[in-house]
A = this chain, B = another copy of it.
Amino acid sequence: MSKELNIGLVGFGCVGSGLYEVLNKSKLIDATIKKIVVQDPYKERSISKTNFSFDINDILADDEINTVVELINDSDEAYKIVKKALESGKDVVSANKKLIAEHLDELIFIAAKNNASFLYEGAVAGSIPIIRNLEEYYNNDSLTSIEGIVNGTTNYILTKSNDGVDYDTALKEAQKLGFAELDPTLDVDGFDSKYKLVLLLKHAFGLNVAPEEVQNIGIRNVTKYEIAYANEKGYRIKLFSKAEKIGDNVVGFVAPHFVKKDHFAFGVDNEFNALVVEALFSDKQLFIGKGAGSYPTASAVLSDISALKFEYKYEYRKTSEDSQLSFTNDFFLKVYIGSPFVEAINQIPFYRVDELFQSDDYAYQTGWVKFSELEDYNLNHRKEISLVILPEPFKGSESLFSGKLERHRVALEV
């Protein structure tokens, strides 16, 4: 009835060793880890050295191993391994969002050609079963949007920031607690959230979107002034990955958002992840869980392994050649732009200005911008400009700004 699984485990870091423990502790799944391949023969590990080998071919060339679980950090190396494993007809479980976001279509093709299954629930939002739910449960309802917090590191930092701790201190705390890497770029500039969004775009809307097409604006430049603005209005700031249908288009991006109190994600703090799925008929659904860490991710990986026993494959039912949907960055949204330098704010083209504020040391402006035009300003690297999205529905068409359509740069006084 169920398939016998002989697992080749690649990587024995945080998640890999967690999986090893979980597999051994959980009585509910019957699968054997036949080989564990790691890179560094000299590293101290929690189990005896005799358990490891150091050549990936020990797994790839072993015909008895029918399941490869890839849990290494290096996404280029991981890509090669996953590709070869699928080519030889082995099922693969991976939690490497970068690898998957960058090569998904090719890997789906190879998997299908070799009748192999490629599962990656652990790649998005740790223990929250979002891919599986999008794939299986929301395959019939008309999804209108998916948004949420899919990066625990930035949510931890923002939680502290919202409570008044400055960015650098919060980042250091996160690093101390092991939530943030020494080089936090992938997290704080929104790349990690973007890779995950690419997978969500595929499973929610059937769209193939390359990571380069998706704009990610991180939290590096969120200052005490944005926090003060949030407090004044009763908002909290959260880094959202967001995809939303506007007509036959789907927009998607990563950026910090001002979140109102009645938003499901308002109180989702620290290292927790949250996803809000909205559909025409089932309305809003919220999923919350731990998004990272050894056990939560390992449990997602384990759930994939368990599904392989029943020969489960993603069907990608929404990806159809006659699908009307296409991905675009051409839409309007309401933003807050803050800076100590009025000239910096004036650079950004606003289509409508709603609020202006200027003081001795800080200025901000709120209003409507065209999202695709923000890309030119490379905001992650402009330390003097802070952008936060305001909670207003997007607009798809310029015509909505009737009478105010001329692009104007409001000149704050310098």
A residues engaging B (CB < 8 A)? 18, 22, 25-29, 126-129, 132-133, 136-142, 264, 267, 279-290, 295-296, 298-300, 302-303, 305-307, 310, 315, 318
Give, as a whole number of angstroms, the nearest-CB distance from A120 to chain B. 14
Complex CA gap A318/B296 in Å reads 21
Let me know if B295 and A283 touch, CB within 8 A.
yes
Let me know if B142 and A282 touch, CB within 8 A.
no
Given A139-B306, A305-B140, do A282 and B300 touch, yes or no (CB 8 Å)? yes
Complex CA gap A282/B27 in Å reads 15
Complex CA gap A85/B260 in Å reads 49
* Cβ–Cβ < 8 Å partners of A126 in chain B: 282
Let me know if B142 and A26 touch, CB within 8 A.
yes
Q: How many copies does the complex hold?
A: 2
* Cβ–Cβ < 8 Å partners of A315 in chain B: 310
Let me know if A28 and B139 touch, CB within 8 A.
yes
Let me know if B296 and A289 touch, CB within 8 A.
no
Give, as a whole number of angstroms, the nearest-CB distance from A135 to chain B. 10
* Cβ–Cβ < 8 Å partners of A138 in chain B: 303
Let me know if A22 and B129 touch, CB within 8 A.
no
Complex CA gap A310/B317 in Å reads 11
* Cβ–Cβ < 8 Å partners of A264 in chain B: 288
Query: Can you list 9 residue pairs at the A/B interface with Cβ under 8 Å?
Result: A25-B280, A26-B141, A129-B137, A129-B285, A132-B137, A139-B303, A281-B299, A283-B296, A285-B288
Given A133-B133, A288-B264, do A140 and B283 touch, yes or no (CB 8 Å)? no
* Cβ–Cβ < 8 Å partners of A136 in chain B: 132, 136, 307
Which residue of B is nearest A306, CB measured? B140
Given A133-B129, A136-B136, A140-B305, do A285 and B281 touch, yes or no (CB 8 Å)? no
Give, as a whole number of angstroms, the nearest-CB distance from A325 to chain B. 12
Given A29-B140, A267-B267, A287-B287, do A22 and B281 touch, yes or no (CB 8 Å)? yes
Let me know if A290 and B295 touch, CB within 8 A.
no
Which residue of B is nearest A315, CB measured? B310
* Cβ–Cβ < 8 Å partners of A290 in chain B: 282-284
